[in-house]
Each structure stands twice: as C-alpha cells, then as structure tokens.
A = this chain, B = another copy of it.
Amino acid sequence: MSKSKPSLPRGTRDFGPTISAKRSYIIEKIKKNFIKYGFSQLETPAMENLSTLTGKYGDEGDQLLYKILNSGDYLSKATEDDYKEGSKHLSSKISEKGLRYDLTVPFARFVVMNQNEIPFPFKRYQIQPVWRADRPQKGRYREFYQCDADIVGSKGIWNEVELTLLFHDVFNDLALEDYIVKINHREILFLLADYVGLKEKAIPFTAEIDKLDKIGREKVVDNVLALGGDSSKIDEVMDLIILKDRDQLLNKVKSIDDSNTGVIELLGFFERLNQFKERNLRVELDLSLARGLSYYTGMIYEVKPTSVRMGSICGGGRYDNLTGIFGLDGVSGIGISFGLDRIYDVMDELNLFPEKITQQIEILILHFNEENLRHGQSIVMQLRAAGIKADLYPESVKIQKQFTYADKIRTPYALIIGDNEMSSGEYMIKNMQSGEQKPMSIDKIIQLFKG
C-alpha cells in the first residue's frame, strides 16, 4: 500500500465545494433552457470503441485520444513482432476502447444505432465531460465539460433562429450581458474564395481571413496573395469583410452572386430574428468568422465576451452530414456548444455569481451542552423540512470551537441554543456578518429565510 503523498494527474482538476456550486449554477441554467426549448437528454458512456472514435478527428485528434488497456492478460493478443513494430502498431492489439473526445461522434453513433426509433427532427442535449491528451496550459484541460444541443433532421431556417434565441435566454438567465453572437455562413466564405480566384483553396483562404483580428489586414492580404489570390479583387473583398453595416454587406455579397445560398439563408435568418427585436439580441454578421469549416456546411456561430479578453465561449453551426462517418448519409442538422470553463471564467471575472449559491448552509445550530444538542436535533429537522439549508454542529464541544467552525464554513446565520432558549422557544439568531443577534421563534426564523 503506497503511502506517498497523493497527487492529481496533470491537466485534471478537483472541484471543491465553491467551484462545484458555481459550475452547477451554470450547468443548471443551461440545462433548464435546453429543456424549455424541447431538447431531451442523451447520456453516452465515457468509453467508446476505438473503431468508433478513430479517424473522426483527423490525425492530430487520433493522437489525442486516451486509449484504455484491454483488461486481463492484454498481451495475449499481441506477438513479439507487434511489440517490435512500436507503440502505434502495438496499441491496436492491446487497446480496443478509448475515452470520448467530444459529444458529437457519440451522438452520431447513437443516431445511427437508433435511427429507426428516433423521431426526426430530433432535439437532443448532452452535458458530459470529454477527454483529450492535449498539452495542458492555462485554460486548457485534459478533462472538460461540453454542453451541446443539436437539432437533426430539419433544414428549416427557424432552427438557426431558435438556437440564437437559446443563446440569448441562457445568458439572460446567467445575467451575463457582455457578449456578442457572431454569425457567418460557409457558402459566403466559399463565394468570396471563388471571387478572389481561390475556389480550390477555399479552406486555407478562410483560415487566413479568420486571422484578421490577430494579425491585421495587411498581413492577411499578403497571405491571401501568397495563396495565389487575385490582387485586383482582394482589396474589394477585404473592404467587404470589414463592413459594419449588415444590410449593406449582404447587398454587396448579393451583387456578386444573388443565388448564393449563404446570402439567401442569412437574409431569411435576420428577417425572422427581427420578430424578436424587443429582446435586444446581440447578433452580428462577421465575415471573418471561420470555424470548423471541414464539418460545418451552412451558418456558423461563435459567441464572444465583449468586456473580458477571451476567445469564444460558445460555438456551433449547421452541418450536412452528421452520420456519414458511420455510413448513414443525409442526416443534416445544426448544433451549438456552451464552453463551461470559459463561461465560468467570464462570470467569475465579472462577479456574476450570486453569493447565495456558494453558501454551503444558511444557518448553523450551536449549543452549550448535550441537552441543547438534543434539542437542536429536532430544530434542525424542522428548518430543513421548511426547505432551509440548516445544519447542526454534531458534537457537544465548547461553543468557541463551534463558532470557529461557523466562521470557517461562512454560514450567514447561527442559531444558538442554551437552556433559556429551550424553555422559552425563542432562539438566539446571530447574523455572522454584522454580529447582530436577537431572539426569534422557529416560525420567525423560517420567515426570515422564506419571506
């Protein structure tokens, strides 16, 4: 039995009481809205067959999969030659399962396996951890939660609108106002690539455009020229991309190609969004936005905080072919993902967590002797029955020790039971912050919390 000082694997975290309470607060608001919008929950196992995971995230993704050693005498299926061929080859002989890398591939697997029972459109949400053997750094962990909602089997533009409203409702519930939902459409990016003569290099072109914020216009232009872009068109396209006026922008794109799906869908999208203008939706068209272009095929989303320097806190988009990787074509859909860790960081920085949620308890009962402790046992149960987070110091020890504990767990109130309190039925209630105290009956105490 090892008695060495225990530690955590690198890139993983414990969440103690305060952090857990704050994380739960965010998750519950997200979940509540997912449910309100008609999404139902899916949970998939942490372990998937490697045949399900491998090849779905590119070569780099394959490297980052956590592989699980087969149980028992795992070498029995391997030969010395397998060993000599090295790690990559051997692992196919000694490992059949891996940890889930995201929630999308397990979702696709679920849809394929249950395609005959699922009613389409199918709206599912999934809030679970994922694992990646990435190099840990500030803000990047090897275990982290994803909070995804997807609608599959429907192409109507209302879905794009609905998910935008969902962002809004979640952030509204979190009292997080400093954000902007950025929107773009892959077909517009491809049109622009075509326009500058880079039809065959649309992905590298958009990857350059995506850097606009970071490296500036001049460098982007240089890079696009280096890709072979048409120098007579590039400035026109850059002017367009940085246009702030949405209508002007869409009209210009339309003037390049008025049958472009991206323009048509975005016009429909913004027109529908306009029905909800009294909600002050924070939505912005940003042609430089280019995320997940190998996966998304239509509109793309990214949510960014506006007053805190940080990358995107949510993302998403429409895809044509969720389940093609498993041989089932034609399942299109749209999905979004909330980045729990980053939302947490933004809310923490902006002080948006209500104080109450990190209160482990609302009132702690203290006592002077065994008799008072006994009495406290029924008091604490009365308070809990009234829905109050109440606790009782569980042993008859010196009151000073109990007060020290009350301070440590930062209870806002203490209820003190002495012999007088027992006979009068009026208990001393101490506000632990102000130090004020006064006698109160149980009914009054319940009112104090519930009133």
Residues of A within 8 A of B (CB): 1-9, 12-17, 20-21, 23-24, 35-38, 40-49, 51-52, 54-56, 63-64, 66-69, 71-76, 80, 83, 86-87, 90-91, 94-97, 99, 109-110, 112-114, 119-121, 123-124, 129, 131, 133, 142-143, 151, 154-156, 158-159, 161-162, 165, 169, 272, 275-276, 325-327, 360-361, 373-374, 377-378, 381, 384, 387-396, 405, 408-409
Contact = CB atoms under 8 A, between A and B. Distances in A.
A76 B87 CA distance: 8
A16 B38 contact: no
Contacts of A390: 38
Nearest to A119: B408
Contacts of A87: 72-76
Contacts of A5: 112-113, 326-327
Given A68-B67, A119-B408, A121-B394, A17 B41 contact: yes
Contacts of A409: 119
Contacts of A69: 66-69, 91, 94-95
A67 B42 CA distance: 26
A1 B325 contact: yes
12 contacts: A6-B52, A6-B326, A12-B45, A14-B113, A15-B44, A36-B387, A40-B360, A46-B99, A67-B69, A69-B91, A123-B360, A162-B392
A373 B83 CA distance: 62
A392 B276 contact: no
B17 A392 contact: no
Contacts of A155: 395
A360 to B, nearest CB: 5
Contacts of A74: 87, 91
B20 A51 contact: no
A148 to B, nearest CB: 14
Nearest to A54: B2
A107 to B, nearest CB: 10
Contact of A9 (B1, B47, B94, B391): B47
Contact of A112 (B6, B44, B86): B6
B45 A20 contact: no
Contacts of A113: 5-8, 14
Given A20-B42, A384-B36, A47 B12 contact: yes
Contacts of A12: 45, 47
A345 B74 CA distance: 34
B389 A35 contact: yes
A353 to B, nearest CB: 15
Given A75-B86, A86-B73, A91-B69, A37 B2 contact: no
B21 A41 contact: yes
A12 to B, nearest CB: 4
Nearest to A69: B67
Contacts of A1: 55-56, 325
Given A41-B20, A392-B158, A9 B275 contact: no
Contact of A45 (B8, B109, B326): B8
A402 to B, nearest CB: 11
A347 B187 CA distance: 51
Given A6-B51, A158-B395, A326-B3, A119 B405 contact: yes
A390 B7 CA distance: 47
A47 B8 CA distance: 9
A6 B49 contact: yes
Given A6-B52, A49-B7, A327-B3, A374 B272 contact: yes
B17 A124 contact: yes
Contacts of A7: 49, 52, 113
Contacts of A55: 1-2
Nearest to A94: B69
Contact of A394 (B9, B44, B46, B151): B151
Contacts of A43: 14-15, 20, 23
Given A45-B14, A87-B75, A158-B377, A361 B38 contact: yes
